[in-house]
Structure 1
Amino acid sequence: MVKKKIQVLFEDEHYIAATKPSDLLVHPFKARSQDRRSLLRSLKKQTDLYLFPIHRLDKPVSGVVLFAKSKEATRLMKEQWNSENVSKHYIAMVKGVTETEGVYDFPIKTDKGLQEAKTSFKTLTSNDEYSLVDIEIFTGRQHQIRKHFSRRMHNLVGDTKYGHSSINNIFRKDYKFYRIFLHSYQLRFIHPFTKEEVIISSPVTEDCIHIANDLFQFDLTNIGNEAKEN
Protein backbone atom coordinates (compact mmCIF):
# COMPACT_ATOMS: atom_id res chain seq x y z
CA MET A 1 0.00 0.00 0.00
CA VAL A 2 1.34 3.44 -0.96
CA LYS A 3 1.27 5.86 1.95
CA LYS A 4 -0.45 9.16 1.17
CA LYS A 5 1.81 12.19 1.37
CA ILE A 6 1.06 14.67 4.15
CA GLN A 7 -0.23 17.97 2.76
CA VAL A 8 2.02 20.84 3.83
CA LEU A 9 0.05 24.08 4.07
CA PHE A 10 2.70 26.55 5.22
CA GLU A 11 6.42 26.59 5.86
CA ASP A 12 9.09 29.12 6.74
CA GLU A 13 12.36 28.95 8.68
CA HIS A 14 10.55 28.76 12.04
CA TYR A 15 7.24 26.88 11.49
CA ILE A 16 5.55 24.31 9.31
CA ALA A 17 1.82 23.52 9.15
CA ALA A 18 0.12 20.48 7.65
CA THR A 19 -3.33 18.97 7.25
CA LYS A 20 -3.94 16.13 9.71
CA PRO A 21 -6.06 13.29 8.32
CA SER A 22 -8.80 12.07 10.66
CA ASP A 23 -7.16 8.68 11.23
CA LEU A 24 -3.86 9.93 12.70
CA LEU A 25 -2.70 11.00 16.13
CA VAL A 26 -0.79 14.28 16.10
CA HIS A 27 1.78 12.85 18.48
CA PRO A 28 2.00 9.35 20.02
CA PHE A 29 2.13 10.80 23.52
CA LYS A 30 0.24 8.01 25.26
CA ALA A 31 2.54 5.23 26.37
CA ARG A 32 -0.36 2.81 26.26
CA SER A 33 -1.14 3.62 22.61
CA GLN A 34 -0.52 0.70 20.26
CA ASP A 35 -0.75 2.97 17.19
CA ARG A 36 2.76 4.13 16.36
CA ARG A 37 1.63 6.14 13.34
CA SER A 38 1.34 9.88 13.86
CA LEU A 39 1.32 13.15 11.95
CA LEU A 40 4.52 14.19 13.71
CA ARG A 41 6.42 11.06 12.68
CA SER A 42 5.08 11.14 9.12
CA LEU A 43 5.95 14.81 8.65
CA LYS A 44 9.42 14.35 10.15
CA LYS A 45 10.09 11.49 7.74
CA GLN A 46 8.68 13.43 4.79
CA THR A 47 10.64 16.65 5.47
CA ASP A 48 13.72 15.31 7.29
CA LEU A 49 13.14 17.98 9.97
CA TYR A 50 13.09 17.71 13.75
CA LEU A 51 9.73 19.19 14.75
CA PHE A 52 8.00 20.33 17.92
CA PRO A 53 4.17 20.15 18.15
CA ILE A 54 2.51 23.43 19.14
CA HIS A 55 -0.96 21.97 19.70
CA ARG A 56 -3.03 18.87 19.00
CA LEU A 57 -6.22 17.80 17.32
CA ASP A 58 -8.02 14.68 18.52
CA LYS A 59 -7.39 11.60 16.39
CA PRO A 60 -10.89 11.54 14.78
CA VAL A 61 -10.60 15.26 13.83
CA SER A 62 -8.97 16.67 10.68
CA GLY A 63 -7.40 19.97 9.70
CA VAL A 64 -4.58 22.44 10.35
CA VAL A 65 -1.82 21.48 12.78
CA LEU A 66 1.18 23.72 13.43
CA PHE A 67 4.71 22.57 14.32
CA ALA A 68 7.80 24.56 15.25
CA LYS A 69 11.33 23.91 14.06
CA SER A 70 13.09 24.95 17.30
CA LYS A 71 12.51 25.12 21.03
CA GLU A 72 12.56 28.92 20.89
CA ALA A 73 9.92 29.03 18.14
CA THR A 74 7.82 26.62 20.19
CA ARG A 75 8.10 28.74 23.34
CA LEU A 76 7.20 31.99 21.59
CA MET A 77 4.16 30.52 19.83
CA LYS A 78 2.87 28.78 22.95
CA GLU A 79 3.19 32.02 24.93
CA GLN A 80 0.63 33.68 22.66
CA TRP A 81 -1.47 30.61 21.82
CA ASN A 82 -4.49 31.61 23.93
CA SER A 83 -4.17 35.35 23.23
CA GLU A 84 -5.87 37.60 20.70
CA ASN A 85 -2.82 37.07 18.44
CA VAL A 86 -4.12 33.61 17.50
CA SER A 87 -7.51 32.55 16.14
CA LYS A 88 -8.62 28.98 15.39
CA HIS A 89 -11.61 28.20 13.17
CA TYR A 90 -13.53 24.95 12.72
CA ILE A 91 -16.52 23.49 10.90
CA ALA A 92 -18.72 21.02 12.79
CA MET A 93 -22.02 19.21 12.47
CA VAL A 94 -23.98 18.96 15.71
CA LYS A 95 -27.22 17.47 16.95
CA GLY A 96 -30.28 19.73 17.05
CA VAL A 97 -31.03 23.25 15.85
CA THR A 98 -28.49 25.75 17.15
CA GLU A 99 -29.05 29.47 17.65
CA THR A 100 -28.04 31.81 14.83
CA GLU A 101 -24.90 32.60 16.78
CA GLY A 102 -23.67 32.28 20.32
CA VAL A 103 -20.81 32.04 22.79
CA TYR A 104 -20.06 29.26 25.27
CA ASP A 105 -17.93 30.83 27.99
CA PHE A 106 -17.70 28.46 30.93
CA PRO A 107 -14.94 26.30 32.43
CA ILE A 108 -14.51 22.67 31.47
CA LYS A 109 -12.76 19.81 33.22
CA THR A 110 -9.49 18.68 31.59
CA ASP A 111 -6.61 16.48 32.64
CA LYS A 112 -5.12 19.65 34.16
CA GLY A 113 -8.23 20.30 36.26
CA LEU A 114 -11.01 22.85 35.75
CA GLN A 115 -9.97 25.43 33.12
CA GLU A 116 -11.64 28.50 31.66
CA ALA A 117 -12.74 28.01 28.05
CA LYS A 118 -14.43 30.19 25.45
CA THR A 119 -16.02 29.07 22.18
CA SER A 120 -18.07 31.16 19.74
CA PHE A 121 -20.15 29.88 16.83
CA LYS A 122 -22.33 30.94 13.91
CA THR A 123 -24.89 28.59 12.39
CA LEU A 124 -24.40 28.09 8.66
CA THR A 125 -27.55 26.01 8.12
CA SER A 126 -29.90 23.67 9.99
CA ASN A 127 -32.62 21.13 9.36
CA ASP A 128 -34.96 19.57 11.91
CA GLU A 129 -32.26 17.28 13.30
CA TYR A 130 -28.78 18.75 12.75
CA SER A 131 -26.88 22.01 12.32
CA LEU A 132 -23.70 22.98 10.52
CA VAL A 133 -21.73 25.50 12.59
CA ASP A 134 -18.70 27.70 12.01
CA ILE A 135 -16.71 27.78 15.25
CA GLU A 136 -13.92 29.92 16.68
CA ILE A 137 -12.16 28.96 19.90
CA PHE A 138 -10.35 31.53 22.02
CA THR A 139 -8.68 28.97 24.28
CA GLY A 140 -7.22 25.58 23.46
CA ARG A 141 -8.52 23.23 26.12
CA GLN A 142 -8.69 19.47 25.90
CA HIS A 143 -11.86 18.43 23.99
CA GLN A 144 -13.09 22.04 24.28
CA ILE A 145 -15.50 22.12 21.34
CA ARG A 146 -16.83 18.63 22.04
CA LYS A 147 -17.45 19.42 25.72
CA HIS A 148 -18.96 22.87 25.21
CA PHE A 149 -21.47 21.70 22.61
CA SER A 150 -22.37 18.51 24.46
CA ARG A 151 -23.11 20.52 27.62
CA ARG A 152 -25.67 22.46 25.57
CA MET A 153 -27.15 19.23 24.15
CA HIS A 154 -25.65 19.86 20.70
CA ASN A 155 -23.37 16.83 20.62
CA LEU A 156 -21.03 16.53 17.66
CA VAL A 157 -21.87 13.95 15.02
CA GLY A 158 -19.45 11.02 15.26
CA ASP A 159 -18.26 11.79 18.79
CA THR A 160 -18.09 8.45 20.62
CA LYS A 161 -17.06 9.99 23.96
CA TYR A 162 -19.51 12.88 24.40
CA GLY A 163 -22.02 12.13 21.64
CA HIS A 164 -24.91 9.73 21.00
CA SER A 165 -24.29 6.21 19.73
CA SER A 166 -27.70 6.11 18.02
CA ILE A 167 -26.80 9.16 15.91
CA ASN A 168 -23.27 7.93 15.24
CA ASN A 169 -24.63 4.57 14.09
CA ILE A 170 -26.88 6.29 11.54
CA PHE A 171 -23.89 8.05 9.96
CA ARG A 172 -21.83 4.88 10.02
CA LYS A 173 -24.60 2.97 8.28
CA ASP A 174 -25.68 5.63 5.77
CA TYR A 175 -22.35 7.29 4.98
CA LYS A 176 -19.63 4.90 6.23
CA PHE A 177 -18.60 7.86 8.42
CA TYR A 178 -16.44 6.70 11.35
CA ARG A 179 -14.92 9.98 12.55
CA ILE A 180 -16.03 13.17 14.30
CA PHE A 181 -17.60 15.77 12.03
CA LEU A 182 -15.09 18.43 13.06
CA HIS A 183 -12.49 20.04 10.81
CA SER A 184 -9.97 22.76 11.66
CA TYR A 185 -10.16 24.84 8.48
CA GLN A 186 -8.16 27.93 9.41
CA LEU A 187 -5.44 29.10 11.77
CA ARG A 188 -4.44 32.76 11.98
CA PHE A 189 -1.61 34.15 14.08
CA ILE A 190 0.81 37.00 14.43
CA HIS A 191 4.20 35.55 13.59
CA PRO A 192 6.40 35.79 16.72
CA PHE A 193 9.50 36.59 14.65
CA THR A 194 8.24 38.68 11.69
CA LYS A 195 5.26 40.26 13.53
CA GLU A 196 3.18 39.75 10.35
CA GLU A 197 -0.22 38.03 10.24
CA VAL A 198 -0.16 34.50 8.86
CA ILE A 199 -3.33 32.78 7.60
CA ILE A 200 -3.17 29.02 7.11
CA SER A 201 -6.17 27.24 5.61
CA SER A 202 -7.11 23.60 5.07
CA PRO A 203 -10.04 22.66 2.79
CA VAL A 204 -12.88 20.69 4.36
CA THR A 205 -12.54 16.96 3.69
CA GLU A 206 -14.56 15.21 0.99
CA ASP A 207 -16.52 13.03 3.43
CA CYS A 208 -17.80 16.08 5.31
CA ILE A 209 -18.54 17.96 2.08
CA HIS A 210 -20.62 15.01 0.83
CA ILE A 211 -22.71 14.79 4.01
CA ALA A 212 -23.32 18.56 4.09
CA ASN A 213 -24.46 18.48 0.47
CA ASP A 214 -26.74 15.52 1.06
CA LEU A 215 -28.40 16.68 4.30
CA PHE A 216 -28.48 20.46 3.84
CA GLN A 217 -27.70 21.11 0.17
CA PHE A 218 -24.94 23.28 1.61
CA ASP A 219 -21.59 23.52 -0.16
CA LEU A 220 -18.54 23.45 2.13
CA THR A 221 -16.08 23.31 -0.78
CA ASN A 222 -14.84 26.89 -0.52
CA ILE A 223 -14.34 26.86 3.25
CA GLY A 224 -10.66 26.42 3.94
CA ASN A 225 -9.68 27.32 0.39
CA GLU A 226 -8.62 30.85 1.31
CA ALA A 227 -5.04 32.01 0.87
CA LYS A 228 -2.83 29.61 2.77
CA GLU A 229 -0.55 32.35 4.02
CA ASN A 230 -0.57 36.11 4.10
Structure 2
Amino acid sequence: MSIESDTENTGIDNDSANPIEIIYEDEFLVAINKEAGLLVHRSWLDKGETRFAMQLTRDAVGCHVFPVHRLDKPTSGVLLFAKSPSVARSLNEAFTDHQVTKQYLAVVRGYMTEQGTIDYALSFKRDAIADKLADLDKPAQEAVTHWQSLAQIELPFAVSKKHDTSRYSLVRLTPETGRKHQLRRHMRHLFHHIVGDTSHGDGRHNRFFRTQYDCARMLLHAQTLALSHPVTAEPLRLTAGLDSQWLRILEEFDWVESAKG
Protein backbone atom coordinates (compact mmCIF):
# COMPACT_ATOMS: atom_id res chain seq x y z
CA MET A 1 0.00 0.00 0.00
CA SER A 2 1.35 3.40 -0.98
CA ILE A 3 0.65 6.45 1.16
CA GLU A 4 0.33 9.79 -0.61
CA SER A 5 0.00 13.25 0.85
CA ASP A 6 -3.35 15.00 0.63
CA THR A 7 -2.13 17.66 -1.80
CA GLU A 8 -0.96 15.18 -4.43
CA ASN A 9 -1.14 16.75 -7.93
CA THR A 10 -3.61 19.47 -6.92
CA GLY A 11 -1.71 22.37 -8.49
CA ILE A 12 -3.61 24.62 -6.10
CA ASP A 13 -2.27 27.93 -4.86
CA ASN A 14 -1.16 27.20 -1.29
CA ASP A 15 -0.94 30.80 -0.08
CA SER A 16 -3.19 31.13 2.96
CA ALA A 17 -3.61 32.83 6.29
CA ASN A 18 -2.43 29.69 8.12
CA PRO A 19 1.03 29.98 9.71
CA ILE A 20 2.15 26.65 8.22
CA GLU A 21 0.72 24.21 5.68
CA ILE A 22 0.80 20.59 6.79
CA ILE A 23 0.72 18.17 3.85
CA TYR A 24 1.15 14.93 5.82
CA GLU A 25 1.01 13.88 9.45
CA ASP A 26 0.86 10.66 11.45
CA GLU A 27 2.06 9.70 14.93
CA PHE A 28 5.68 9.49 13.75
CA LEU A 29 6.12 12.16 11.06
CA VAL A 30 4.91 15.52 9.87
CA ALA A 31 5.64 17.12 6.50
CA ILE A 32 4.96 20.73 5.60
CA ASN A 33 5.03 22.86 2.48
CA LYS A 34 7.72 25.37 3.44
CA GLU A 35 7.19 28.80 1.96
CA ALA A 36 10.00 30.62 0.18
CA GLY A 37 11.91 32.92 2.53
CA LEU A 38 11.26 30.82 5.65
CA LEU A 39 14.24 29.47 7.58
CA VAL A 40 14.11 25.85 8.73
CA HIS A 41 15.35 26.83 12.21
CA ARG A 42 17.06 29.67 14.04
CA SER A 43 20.37 30.72 12.59
CA TRP A 44 23.12 33.19 13.45
CA LEU A 45 23.12 34.12 9.77
CA ASP A 46 19.64 35.67 10.01
CA LYS A 47 19.41 37.19 13.47
CA GLY A 48 16.51 39.41 12.48
CA GLU A 49 14.19 36.54 11.53
CA THR A 50 11.33 35.69 13.90
CA ARG A 51 9.52 32.89 12.02
CA PHE A 52 11.02 29.43 11.63
CA ALA A 53 9.58 26.30 10.06
CA MET A 54 10.55 24.05 12.96
CA GLN A 55 8.89 26.21 15.61
CA LEU A 56 5.77 26.83 13.49
CA THR A 57 5.41 23.10 12.85
CA ARG A 58 5.91 22.29 16.54
CA ASP A 59 3.20 24.76 17.49
CA ALA A 60 0.83 23.38 14.84
CA VAL A 61 1.14 19.72 15.86
CA GLY A 62 1.58 20.25 19.60
CA CYS A 63 4.84 18.33 20.09
CA HIS A 64 8.56 18.64 19.51
CA VAL A 65 9.72 17.98 15.96
CA PHE A 66 13.17 17.06 14.69
CA PRO A 67 14.52 18.15 11.27
CA VAL A 68 15.92 15.35 9.10
CA HIS A 69 16.94 17.36 6.03
CA ARG A 70 17.14 21.00 4.96
CA LEU A 71 15.85 23.40 2.36
CA ASP A 72 17.59 26.67 1.61
CA LYS A 73 15.77 29.75 2.85
CA PRO A 74 14.64 30.87 -0.66
CA THR A 75 13.53 27.35 -1.66
CA SER A 76 9.94 26.26 -1.09
CA GLY A 77 8.40 22.82 -0.89
CA VAL A 78 8.33 19.53 1.00
CA LEU A 79 10.08 19.65 4.37
CA LEU A 80 9.93 16.56 6.57
CA PHE A 81 10.21 16.38 10.37
CA ALA A 82 10.27 13.42 12.77
CA LYS A 83 8.32 13.46 16.02
CA SER A 84 10.95 11.57 18.03
CA PRO A 85 14.74 11.28 18.12
CA SER A 86 14.63 7.58 17.18
CA VAL A 87 12.55 8.22 14.05
CA ALA A 88 14.81 11.17 13.21
CA ARG A 89 17.88 8.88 13.38
CA SER A 90 16.20 6.38 11.07
CA LEU A 91 15.31 9.09 8.56
CA ASN A 92 18.80 10.60 8.73
CA GLU A 93 20.21 7.20 7.80
CA ALA A 94 17.76 6.92 4.89
CA PHE A 95 18.87 10.31 3.53
CA THR A 96 22.54 9.44 4.05
CA ASP A 97 22.13 6.09 2.30
CA HIS A 98 20.36 7.71 -0.70
CA GLN A 99 17.09 5.89 0.05
CA VAL A 100 15.04 9.07 -0.37
CA THR A 101 14.14 10.48 -3.79
CA LYS A 102 13.84 14.26 -4.01
CA GLN A 103 12.44 16.02 -7.07
CA TYR A 104 12.48 19.77 -7.61
CA LEU A 105 10.91 22.12 -10.13
CA ALA A 106 12.99 25.01 -11.39
CA VAL A 107 12.87 27.73 -14.03
CA VAL A 108 16.28 28.25 -15.59
CA ARG A 109 17.69 30.53 -18.26
CA GLY A 110 18.20 29.08 -21.72
CA TYR A 111 16.99 25.90 -23.40
CA MET A 112 18.13 22.75 -21.59
CA THR A 113 18.42 19.46 -23.44
CA GLU A 114 15.64 16.92 -22.93
CA GLN A 115 17.43 15.11 -20.13
CA GLY A 116 20.87 14.59 -18.71
CA THR A 117 23.12 14.24 -15.70
CA ILE A 118 25.76 16.52 -14.24
CA ASP A 119 28.46 14.81 -12.20
CA TYR A 120 30.49 17.73 -10.92
CA ALA A 121 32.19 17.77 -7.54
CA LEU A 122 31.53 20.83 -5.38
CA SER A 123 34.11 22.49 -3.18
CA PHE A 124 33.27 23.47 0.37
CA LYS A 125 31.73 26.94 0.62
CA ARG A 126 32.33 28.62 3.97
CA ASP A 127 29.74 30.83 5.68
CA ALA A 128 31.52 33.49 7.72
CA ILE A 129 29.49 32.75 10.86
CA ALA A 130 27.96 29.30 10.58
CA ASP A 131 31.15 27.64 9.33
CA LYS A 132 33.80 29.67 11.13
CA LEU A 133 35.22 26.54 12.79
CA ALA A 134 34.91 24.32 9.72
CA ASP A 135 37.87 22.73 7.98
CA LEU A 136 38.63 24.90 4.96
CA ASP A 137 40.88 22.28 3.36
CA LYS A 138 38.08 19.80 2.65
CA PRO A 139 38.42 18.20 -0.77
CA ALA A 140 35.65 18.77 -3.29
CA GLN A 141 32.71 16.45 -2.62
CA GLU A 142 31.03 14.27 -5.22
CA ALA A 143 27.77 15.84 -6.41
CA VAL A 144 25.36 14.36 -8.97
CA THR A 145 22.15 15.87 -10.33
CA HIS A 146 19.81 14.51 -12.99
CA TRP A 147 17.57 16.81 -15.00
CA GLN A 148 14.55 16.50 -17.26
CA SER A 149 13.39 19.40 -19.42
CA LEU A 150 9.60 19.73 -19.16
CA ALA A 151 8.83 22.84 -21.22
CA GLN A 152 10.53 25.75 -22.96
CA ILE A 153 9.63 29.28 -24.02
CA GLU A 154 11.19 32.07 -26.04
CA LEU A 155 10.14 35.59 -25.02
CA PRO A 156 10.36 38.72 -27.21
CA PHE A 157 12.51 40.57 -24.67
CA ALA A 158 16.22 41.36 -24.92
CA VAL A 159 17.38 40.63 -21.38
CA SER A 160 21.01 40.47 -22.51
CA LYS A 161 22.65 42.64 -25.17
CA LYS A 162 23.70 39.60 -27.21
CA HIS A 163 20.17 38.42 -28.08
CA ASP A 164 16.89 40.02 -29.16
CA THR A 165 14.87 37.35 -27.34
CA SER A 166 15.22 35.42 -24.09
CA ARG A 167 14.77 31.69 -23.57
CA TYR A 168 13.78 29.78 -20.45
CA SER A 169 13.18 26.15 -19.49
CA LEU A 170 11.01 24.48 -16.89
CA VAL A 171 13.03 21.56 -15.53
CA ARG A 172 12.71 18.76 -13.02
CA LEU A 173 15.87 18.28 -10.98
CA THR A 174 16.64 15.07 -9.10
CA PRO A 175 19.75 15.23 -6.92
CA GLU A 176 21.53 12.00 -6.00
CA THR A 177 23.63 13.77 -3.41
CA GLY A 178 22.78 16.57 -0.99
CA ARG A 179 25.61 19.09 -1.10
CA LYS A 180 25.21 22.67 0.00
CA HIS A 181 23.38 24.69 -2.69
CA GLN A 182 23.95 21.75 -5.02
CA LEU A 183 21.16 22.42 -7.52
CA ARG A 184 21.87 26.14 -7.66
CA ARG A 185 25.61 25.62 -8.16
CA HIS A 186 25.15 22.84 -10.70
CA MET A 187 22.79 24.96 -12.80
CA ARG A 188 25.24 27.85 -12.67
CA HIS A 189 28.04 25.50 -13.81
CA LEU A 190 25.90 24.56 -16.84
CA PHE A 191 25.14 28.26 -17.53
CA HIS A 192 21.45 27.57 -16.90
CA HIS A 193 21.14 29.72 -13.79
CA ILE A 194 17.98 29.32 -11.72
CA VAL A 195 15.78 32.40 -12.08
CA GLY A 196 15.64 34.46 -8.89
CA ASP A 197 18.80 32.99 -7.36
CA THR A 198 20.63 36.01 -5.95
CA SER A 199 23.70 34.02 -4.86
CA HIS A 200 24.39 31.79 -7.86
CA GLY A 201 22.09 33.19 -10.53
CA ASP A 202 22.15 35.86 -13.23
CA GLY A 203 21.09 39.31 -12.02
CA ARG A 204 19.78 40.40 -15.42
CA HIS A 205 17.24 37.60 -15.58
CA ASN A 206 16.32 38.03 -11.93
CA ARG A 207 15.55 41.72 -12.52
CA PHE A 208 13.55 40.89 -15.65
CA PHE A 209 11.27 38.49 -13.77
CA ARG A 210 10.82 41.00 -10.94
CA THR A 211 9.82 43.86 -13.24
CA GLN A 212 7.97 41.95 -15.97
CA TYR A 213 6.18 39.31 -13.88
CA ASP A 214 6.29 40.69 -10.33
CA CYS A 215 8.19 37.57 -9.30
CA ALA A 216 10.69 38.29 -6.55
CA ARG A 217 11.35 34.73 -5.35
CA MET A 218 13.80 32.09 -6.49
CA LEU A 219 11.99 29.68 -8.80
CA LEU A 220 13.14 26.46 -7.12
CA HIS A 221 10.54 24.25 -5.44
CA ALA A 222 10.92 20.87 -3.70
CA GLN A 223 7.89 19.28 -5.33
CA THR A 224 8.05 15.66 -4.16
CA LEU A 225 9.76 13.49 -1.57
CA ALA A 226 9.52 9.69 -1.89
CA LEU A 227 10.71 7.23 0.75
CA SER A 228 9.78 4.19 2.78
CA HIS A 229 7.99 5.05 6.01
CA PRO A 230 10.61 4.66 8.78
CA VAL A 231 8.23 2.69 11.03
CA THR A 232 5.69 0.91 8.79
CA ALA A 233 8.00 0.52 5.75
CA GLU A 234 5.11 1.48 3.46
CA PRO A 235 5.95 3.63 0.40
CA LEU A 236 5.36 7.29 1.18
CA ARG A 237 5.17 10.00 -1.48
CA LEU A 238 4.78 13.60 -0.35
CA THR A 239 3.91 16.39 -2.75
CA ALA A 240 3.81 20.15 -2.13
CA GLY A 241 1.73 22.53 -4.23
CA LEU A 242 2.99 25.79 -5.70
CA ASP A 243 2.53 29.34 -4.43
CA SER A 244 0.95 32.25 -6.29
CA GLN A 245 4.17 33.55 -7.84
CA TRP A 246 4.98 30.12 -9.24
CA LEU A 247 1.44 29.67 -10.57
CA ARG A 248 1.48 33.09 -12.20
CA ILE A 249 4.62 32.15 -14.16
CA LEU A 250 3.24 28.74 -15.13
CA GLU A 251 -0.02 30.26 -16.36
CA GLU A 252 1.77 33.08 -18.22
CA PHE A 253 4.01 30.56 -20.02
CA ASP A 254 1.30 27.89 -20.47
CA TRP A 255 3.30 25.44 -18.34
CA VAL A 256 0.65 24.37 -15.83
CA GLU A 257 0.22 20.83 -17.18
CA SER A 258 3.95 20.38 -17.68
CA ALA A 259 4.66 21.18 -14.03
CA LYS A 260 2.44 18.49 -12.52
CA GLY A 261 4.35 15.93 -10.50
Q: TM-score, normalised by structure 1?
A: 0.90
AA of the residue aligned to 2:206: N
Once the two structures are superposed, residues 16-63 of structure 1 have per-residue CA deviations (whole angstroms, 9 ceiling, x without a partner) of: 100001121111133652212111111112222101111111111110
- Whole-angstrom distance in 2 between the partners of 1:169 and 1:144: 23
Counterpart contact for 2:105–2:259, Cα < 8 Å: no
Question: Following superposition of structure 1 onto structure 2, how do residues 155-194 of structure 1 map, counting pairs within 5 Å?
Answer: 155-194=193-232
- Whole-angstrom distance in 1 between the partners of 2:259 and 2:141: 34
Once the two structures are superposed, residues 178-200 of structure 1 have per-residue CA deviations (whole angstroms, 9 ceiling, x without a partner) of: 11101111000012221211111
Once the two structures are superposed, residues 157-203 of structure 1 have per-residue CA deviations (whole angstroms, 9 ceiling, x without a partner) of: 00000011111111111222111101111000012221211111111
Q: 2:107 maps to what in 1?
A: 93
Q: CA RMSD in A?
A: 1.9
- Whole-angstrom distance in 1 between the partners of 2:29 and 2:115: 33
Give the counterpart of 2:83 among 57, 69, 80.
69
Q: Which runs of 5+ in 1 are unaligned?
A: 225-230
Question: Following superposition of structure 1 onto structure 2, how do residues 27-66 of structure 1 map, counting pairs within 5 Å?
Answer: 27-30=41-44, 33-66=47-80
Q: 1:78 maps to what in 2?
A: 92
Which secondary structure does the structure 1 equivalent of 2:55 belong to?
A: helix
Q: 1:131 maps to what in 2?
A: 169
The higher-RCO structure (CA 8 Å, 6+ apart) is: 2
Give the counterpart of 1:102 among 113, 116, 119.
116
Counterpart contact for 1:26–1:56, Cα < 8 Å: yes
Counterpart contact for 2:150–2:258, Cα < 8 Å: no
Residue 93 of structure 1, CA deviation: 0.2
Greater CA radius of gyration, 1 or 2? 2
- Whole-angstrom distance in 2 between the partners of 1:142 and 1:35: 21
- Whole-angstrom distance in 2 between the partners of 1:150 and 1:5: 33
Which secondary structure does the structure 2 equivalent of 1:136 belong to?
A: strand
Provide closer, same or farther for how the CA distance between residues 221 and 25 of structure 1 changes in structure 2, counting only shifts above 3 A.
Answer: farther
The number of aligned residues is 222
Q: 1:120 maps to what in 2?
A: 146
Identity of aligned residues (%): 33
Which secondary structure does the structure 1 equivalent of 2:236 belong to?
A: strand
Counterpart contact for 2:98–2:177, Cα < 8 Å: no
- Whole-angstrom distance in 2 between the partners of 1:4 and 1:137: 30
- Whole-angstrom distance in 2 between the partners of 1:32 and 1:145: 22
Give the counterpart of 1:8 among 22, 25, 38.
22
Q: Are 2:184 and 1:146 aligned?
A: yes
Q: 2:240 maps to what in 1?
A: 202
Q: In terms of mean alpha carbon deviation, does 165-174 or 27-36 score higher?
A: 27-36
- Whole-angstrom distance in 2 between the partners of 1:102 and 1:30: 37
Q: In terms of mean alpha carbon deviation, does 91-100 or 191-200 score higher?
A: 191-200
Counterpart contact for 1:209–1:220, Cα < 8 Å: no
Q: In terms of mean alpha carbon deviation, does 30-39 or 175-184 score higher?
A: 30-39
Which secondary structure does the structure 1 equivalent of 2:44 belong to?
A: coil
AA of the residue aligned to 1:122: Q
Q: 1:227 maps to what in 2?
A: none
- Whole-angstrom distance in 1 between the partners of 2:46 and 2:73: 15
Counterpart contact for 1:16–1:66, Cα < 8 Å: yes
Counterpart contact for 2:65–2:82, Cα < 8 Å: yes
Counterpart contact for 2:145–2:183, Cα < 8 Å: yes
